[in-house]
Amino acid sequence: MPLQIYINGQFYDKENAKISVYDHGLLYGDGVFEGLRSYSGKVFQLTQHLDRLYESALAICLQIPISKAQLADDVNKTLKINNLHDAYIRLVVTRGSGSLGLDPNRTSDPQVIIIADSISLYPEENYKNGLKIITASTVRSHPAALSPRIKSLNYLNNIMAKMEGLQAGCVEALMLNHKGEVAECTGDNIFIVKNGVLMTPSKDAGILEGITRNAVLELAREHGIPTQEVTLTRHDLFVADECFLTGSAAEVIPVVSIDSRPIGGGSVGATTIKLMAAFKKLVHG
């Protein structure tokens, strides 16, 4: 059976899943989204993802037309109808169709979309040997212009930085904030280990507070690893003992080189390996 896409309570074959070209989600990036993972048919941190989705919508005055409980049920229904167990799930809520022009009051009928598909991970050798990344010249959007806590459909800032990484032969790129501090990568949060302490940029660095990021911080505390959410610079990354990224799709993936500088001797560190194993146990347990 063709992949089934959920739109506003109905399922459509992938080829027939359509919304209006007048939808402000398409015209202006006016909407919000979440990316989730399921393991053995169970969605990881579904409640936390839905909380963030609804908070993002509230922040842009977008009324999601169904309850969290109903949306959670619909996510599981979408997995089931597509017979998916280990999958990537994309939740999208658009402002809805309307006339041309920025005025959201001219729109109606927000579109709630659920796409569940097979997961495409980084190659296994990246988890074994680590990633090489670069620092993008594209600066993370100023938090006073658009809060990074809103996971909006307009991802052009991240896409421009991603292009820089790809052009340099890297699958990820680091983004700095407007003060030149480390923020996050284009699709992942970043961590370093220095003298046994796990560190990651604080929320006020202009980051999206990742669901996997928070899970890894909690796992570290459970394993007796000291954690700090602090201001980091590129210098801190260059002199770190270890570095890794976290994200719903990436999970926990090591970084061994930043801007052609080897991190921790250019090999995957012991703390990273421990947290990778702990996360795998968490999601498959």
249 sits in which H/E element: none
User: Tokens for 206?
Assistant: 């202009």
User: Tokens for 143?
Assistant: 């938090």
Nearest-angstrom CA–CA distance, 197 and 4: 45
Backbone dihedral angles phi then psi of residue 230, each to the nearest 5 degrees: -140, 170
Q: Which residues are catalytic?
A: 151
Nearest-angstrom CA–CA distance, 107 and 96: 6
Check: CB of residue 212 under 8 Å from CB of residue 252.
yes
Nearest-angstrom CA–CA distance, 122 and 171: 9
Nearest-angstrom CA–CA distance, 56 and 62: 8
Nearest-angstrom CA–CA distance, 106 and 98: 5
Nearest-angstrom CA–CA distance, 118 and 131: 23
Hey, what's the torsion of the CAs at 123, 128, 130, 131, to 10 degrees? 0
User: Tokens for 87?
Assistant: 């999958």
Check: CB of residue 25 under 8 Å from CB of residue 31.
yes
Check: CB of residue 92 under 8 Å from CB of residue 115.
yes
Check: CB of residue 30 under 8 Å from CB of residue 59.
no
User: Tokens for 280?
Assistant: 């795998």
